[in-house]
Chains A and B, each alone.
Chain A
Amino acid sequence: MKLDRTKPEGTFVTEPDDDLIICRCEEITKGEIRRAIYDGMYTMTELKRFTRAGMGLCQGGTCSLTVRRVLAKELGLPLREIEEDTSRSPARPMEVRKYEHGGDEA
């Protein structure tokens, strides 16, 4: 999808529930996410990398859909136009020693 990221006119407008925590693992608020979108983070990946929302212990399992909804609303797009957050291995946090050769038997 072609996206022109030219900065819109006007300053950032706060909303009453901006201090609501959306990513519980990294304690990122709705306002921080909205601010990052205002600053040009227009994809789930950019938002995650810029704010750390979805980068904590649960890796976005809890907050990902809410972040997508905020992004869709701010960009004025339907939710289906916003790509899903990238899932990465491992599914659960796993000790380094388990990656060793034969580590799964240890």
Chain B
Amino acid sequence: MRADAVIVGGGIIGCATAYEMAKRGKSVVVLEKTMIGHGGSSRNLGGVRQSARDIRELPLAMYSIREIWPNLTEELGVDIEYVQKGGFRLGENEEEHQLLEMYTERSKRLGLEVYLLPGDEARAICPALSPTITWASWCPSDGHANPYLTTLAYYRKARELGARFITGETVTEIRMNRSRVGGVVTEDGTVYEGDNVLVAAGFASRPILDTVGIDIPMKLCINECMVSEKEEALFPQMMATAHGTFFVNQTGHGSFAFDATREIDPWVDKGEEINTPSSMAAETMSEGIRHYFPQMLDAKVVRQWVGYWDVTPDRVPVVDRAEEVPGLYIACGFSGHGFGLAPGAARLMTAWMNGETLPVDVSGLRHDRFECNLH
């Protein structure tokens, strides 16, 4: 089979890029090992945020939120439950205050509207915040959306526009055609030919890229979530602690969604799947709730799940075109915060593949930044 673009990975990046390419009339095939949105794309909490972003990825977050997110429900024809009512990062001591000040100052220099507020001013915006909060950063254009609906809505629309999706298809190798990319080969030897190949397969991207001599260092880190039954509306904002150890939002459905990292041993050694929630993360989440939002202590949890971060050494993604392998594009290593960036990353990939001017600068997200170099 031949297509203008062969996309490896049916997560939100793959589905969104397939949509953007199909919208321009390009032929696309998406190859996915398991099912649509099986990895982090569906298991995250749905944060669409700019607060506390690394400055190398902040422009991509700002572009996605300015240009794409607010129109996405209309564009895709599915209510993705996007709520843009701002985001808080919460601090309770001097160390967290300084951290929040550092985040806000450096983000303001890139043009983000974000404020560092004393506790009382933050509570004036959101009365549900605990009295123990002494400082908070406040970004009015932050928000959240439903992650699985967004991923599946991109898939649905791309498919409607003619993009081809094949699941249960494991890509093992990138195939060269003389000095440029020629396509990919799958486990059972099927060849998919294309002049452009995008690898957006999360942690699984590493061995695939390795077949053309590109190594993206990544580790897998377990992260866990739980969700409550439907509750009265309490707050519409995206909430996080200063250090990003605990996240909460109230979904469009009315349930509260919580997210925390296992405090002990969150690293997965060999990429094997562990899908059993631990008592450790649940305990961390419940302690976070007691501490920051004691009103939620009696909310009933209906579901817990486990997800993975594909973490790079500097915890920002690779969003790049491989100059040494013309036609090869990479979007992986999102390190647990890729959902909000995905719509922008997909537009960027599409612009690259079509030889257009890039809509946003991602030069800080190059794949060769991990190579040894002596300064």
Contacts and interface: CB of A to CB of B under 8 A. Distances in A.
Interface string A62-106: 000000000000000000000000001110011111011101000
B297 interface: yes
B283 A2 contact: no
Contact of B299 (A5, A40, A96): A96
A2 B298 contact: no
B112 interface: no
Contacts of B155: 40
Nearest to B158: A40
Interface string A35-50: 0000111110110011
Contact of B37 (A2, A4, A49, A57): A49
Contacts of A95: 297-301
Contacts of B287: 100-101
Contacts of A1: 168
Contacts of B303: 55, 59, 88-90
A93 B166 contact: no
Contacts of A57: 229, 302
B238 to A, nearest CB: 19
Contacts of A43: 35
B310 interface: no
Interface in B128-156: 148-149, 152, 155-156
Contacts, number: 103
A3 B300 CA distance: 37
Number of chain B interface residues as a range? 35 or more
Given A52-B253, A89-B277, A93-B302, A46 B290 contact: no
Contacts of B12: none
B interface, by DSSP: helix, strand, loop or mixed? mixed
B296 interface: yes
B166 A4 contact: yes
A1 B285 CA distance: 37
B290 A94 contact: no
A6 to B, nearest CB: 5
A105 to B, nearest CB: 14
Interface string B288-323: 011000001111111111000000000000000000
Contact of A4 (B149, B164, B228, B279): B164
A96 B305 CA distance: 15
B50 interface: no
B36 A46 contact: yes
B107 interface: no
B4 interface: no
Contacts of A59: 302-303
A95 B253 CA distance: 19
Interface string A1-30: 111111100000000000000000000000
Contact of B296 (A41, A49, A88, A96): A96
23 contacts: A2-B168, A4-B165, A5-B166, A5-B167, A6-B164, A6-B165, A39-B156, A39-B160, A40-B155, A42-B35, A45-B38, A49-B42, A49-B149, A88-B304, A93-B229, A93-B300, A93-B301, A94-B300, A95-B298, A96-B228, A96-B285, A97-B290, A100-B286
3 shortest interchain CB distances as A-B pairs: A49-B148, A93-B300, A99-B286
Given A93-B229, A94-B301, 16 more contacts: A6-B159, A39-B160, A40-B156, A45-B38, A46-B152, A49-B149, A57-B229, A89-B303, A90-B304, A94-B300, A96-B289, A96-B301, A97-B290, A99-B285, A100-B283, A101-B283
